[in-house]
Homo-oligomer: A and B are copies of this chain.
Amino acid sequence: MATIYEVSKLAGVSLATVSRVMNNNARVSDNTKKKVLAAMQTLGYRPNAIAQSLASNCSNSVGILVSELSGAFYGQMMSGIETELRAAGKHVIITTGHSEEEKEKDGLEFLIGRNCDAIIAHVEAVSDEYIVELSKGKTPIYLMSRHVEALSEKCISLDNEHGGYLATKSLIEHGHSKIAYIAGPQFKADASNRLQGHKRALSEHNIAFDETLFFIGDFKETGGSEGLHHLLKQGYDFTALVCANDEMASGAMKYAREHNVKLPSQLSIIGFDNVIFANYLYPTLTTVDNPVNEMGRMAAKMVLKEIYHQKNIEINRIFEPTVILRNSIKSIKTT
């Protein structure tokens, strides 16, 4: 690996001059510039980003922390962030938190230690206080899908409560009143907010929340199948099911088919997130759109504007969920 020193020697100039042509921020005569460029070429010189970062205290890279690297939801989010940043010549350093407090902290600190110019995090296990404390450091932290009051201008979130409300309301408007619910892990704010919305829709239509029609899953396919298994085993009847995300909905749909529950004639299902494959399930899944990809792009735009000082960027911090009607809900006659 050639260093800037070797380049300077070959070009017959000083270190400083080489550095100048690299960052072309200062005047360098065309002649010497040419010599330096040539030297770089023949040596196959590549700047050492680490050294640049240490000296300039700027890494031109932003850290991303997500819970998992797999899963359509996180994929869309990362993809949105990266697309926008990459277009601006910035790089992304991704790591994971696995929804565990220690790992999230570890990941966050790793990112800070790597001198990221900013961090975009989707954290679920660490406390608000911890985040606020960390935000006092030199690395700005932006939060995805989470609202922390003290950091509200750095938070991008979906109105999950409203989404949960819409999902259940949609079922009610199709004539359903016996509605089961498979929730996500309640320590996740997304999950608990969606559930709150569900309860609001219920009470607004004078339907009592029924504990026996309720199950807490893991936000994965298995959570959906286990949930439906549990609900069916109870023997209580219900005509509709809300799943707090699409993965669980797909698991429930599969379980239903395997146990001869006709979809949607015997059971209507609505999911949440509108991940890509929701549209490829059978029946195609009616769900609540969660524009994660756009939210990711927006997070990226925020750091582009606030950290890298790009102009003419419109910011929007709250995203609204919308119901995507497909074929997994059947209308039933109201008596």
- Return A53 CB to nearest CB of chain B, in Å: 5
- Return A118 CB to nearest CB of chain B, in Å: 15
The CA-CA distance from A39 to B174 in the complex, in Å, is 64
A46-B112, A221-B276 given; A91·B95 CB < 8 A:
yes
A188 interfacial by beta-carbon distance below 8 Å: no
A70-B78, A92-B95, A137-B1 given; A113·B47 CB < 8 A:
yes
Contact with B along A252-286 (1 / 0, CB 8 A): 01100100000000000000000011011110100
Specify the main secondary structure of chain A where it touches its partner: helix
Query: What B residues does A82 contact at CB under 8 A?
Result: 69, 96
**Size category of the binding interface on chain A:** 35 or more
The CA-CA distance from A241 to B219 in the complex, in Å, is 33
A192 interfacial by beta-carbon distance below 8 Å: no
Query: What B residues does A51 contact at CB under 8 A?
Result: 54
Docked-complex contact B250 and A280, CB < 8 angstroms: yes
Query: What B residues does A115 contact at CB under 8 A?
Result: 48-50
Cβ contact of A75, chosen from B49, B70, B250, B253, cutoff 8 A: B70
Chain A residues within 8 Å of B, Cβ to Cβ: 1, 46-51, 53-54, 59, 61, 68-72, 74-76, 78-79, 82, 86, 91-96, 103, 109-110, 112-115, 137-138, 221, 250-251, 253-254, 257, 276-277, 279-282, 284
